[in-house]
């Protein structure tokens, strides 16, 4: 229980946002890349599956960011 409270404290600390976001992005990539590899032809390598997944995640996050910027410009 003590470790969980320390983890929540680290996540809520604003200075650690970028490294934490990068870590979560890489973990999400590790979860999604096997699905991409299974959906692509057998000739594709594992590296290609990871890069395609990472490109998809970056594209999706950019779309969400631009959506927020367009509809809430006063925040930026």
Tokens of 22: 């990068």
Side-chain half-sphere of 11: how many Cα atoms within 13 Å? 9
Record the pTM: 0.56
pLDDT in tens, the chain (76 residues): 677 777 667 666 666 677 777 777 888 888 888 887 777 776 567 787 788 888 888 898 888 888 888 888 887 6
Gap between the Cα atoms of 76 and 73, Å rounded: 5
Task: Give yes or no for a contact between 49 and 33, defined as CB atoms under 8 angstroms apart.
Answer: yes
């Amino acid at each position: 229980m003590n470790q969980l409270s320390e983890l929540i404290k680290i996540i809520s600390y604003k200075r650690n946002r970028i490294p934490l976001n990068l870590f979560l992005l890489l973990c999400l990539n590790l979860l999604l890349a096997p699905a991409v590899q299974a959906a692509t032809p057998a000739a594709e390598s594992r590296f290609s599956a990871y890069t395609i997944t990472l490109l998809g995640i970056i594209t999706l996050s950019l779309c969400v960011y631009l959506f927020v910027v367009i509809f809430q410009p006063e925040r930026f």
